[in-house]
């Protein structure tokens, strides 16, 4: 019977679950704020790992486009510079 299989101890109290969710969300926002913005807007997006050979080309394309549109922020540029440094380390 399904009711016998229910394990109440496997579930967190509602408040504890919400707190863990809040912490996970904050950590995700710190990891990659732009991805979180897209998720919040329910927009599809692609993910390119920084060790892929085309990472730099894709990131440079996005940066150029956003600069032309006037949507490239100082925060974006700082993230870009750090990402490109990591990319060079992985590919050299």
> Half-sphere exposure (CA, 13 Å, Cβ side) for 84?
12
pLDDT band at 1 (very low <50, low <70, confident <90, very high): very low
Question: Residue 31: what pLDDT?
Answer: 72
pLDDT per residue over 6-55, tens digit each? 555 566 667 787 788 788 878 777 777 778 788 889 898 888 988 898 99
The per-residue pLDDT for range 57-85, each reduced to its tens digit, is 999 999 999 999 999 999 889 989 999 99
What region does 73 belong to: left with phi over 0, alpha with psi -120 to 50, or beta? beta
Q: How far apart are CA 83 and CA 75, in angstroms?
A: 12
């Amino acid at each position: 019977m399904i009711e016998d299989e229910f394990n109440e101890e496997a579930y967190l109290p509602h408040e504890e679950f919400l707190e863990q969710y809040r912490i996970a969300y904050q950590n995700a926002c710190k990891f990659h704020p732009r991805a979180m913005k897209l998720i919040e807007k329910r927009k599809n997006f692609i993910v390119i790992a920084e060790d892929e050979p085309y990472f730099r080309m894709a990131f440079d394309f996005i940066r150029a486009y956003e600069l032309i549109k006037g949507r490239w922020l100082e925060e974006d540029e700082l993230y870009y510079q750090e990402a490109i440094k990591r990319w060079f380390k992985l590919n050299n």
